[in-house]
Amino acid sequence: MAHPRLIFDFADPEHYLEIERIKEHDVVPELVPARLGGPVFRCAEEVAAYREDLERRAAAQGDVLPLRWPDPFPFDSEAALLAATYAKSIGKVAAFSLAAFRQAYAGGRALDLETVLIAGAAAEMHPAAIKKAITLRSVRERLEAAA
């Protein structure tokens, strides 16, 4: 039987809820950062309805912190995805990804470079290494291959 994989993008808060539920799995899935994008909205009413539904689901999950929406939402997740791809190569994808998701959806912060570095620090990743890694073609190619 193949090892389960959880493919995720930080731009999708539903992936945050799934990452928070990993401990419920009998087998911890392989975490795979990929450019999937987040939800697409046509109007402000759709955004409001989506947020309300997700907040209700997060509250029902019980152990998830109340959602705080990043501003802007949706946001560009490219730097975080590149950092997560690097984190995967050094065995820290779970720690980094959970920290980044919590910065975004529990802390209400868009994942700009500063916030990515904070998440990296929580995963014991050096900021200079993250800054360098997100510029490397090899990291970008691994991220592209995951999609």
Per the structure, the complete domain to which residue 125 belongs is given by 5-146
pTM over 0.95: no
Give the model's pLDDT for residue 58. Answer: 84
Domain total for the chain? 1
Structure tokens at 70: 């990043």
CATH of the domain at 25: 3.40.30.10
With contact defined as beta carbons under 8 Å apart, do 64 and 58 qualify? Answer: yes
State the pLDDT at residue 21: 83
Q: Would you state the pLDDT for residue 1?
A: 54
Q: For the chain (length 147 residues), average pLDDT per consecutive 10?
A: 83 90 78 88 87 87 79 90 97 95 94 97 97 97 90
User: d(Cα 60, Cα 16) in Å, to the nearest integer?
Assistant: 14
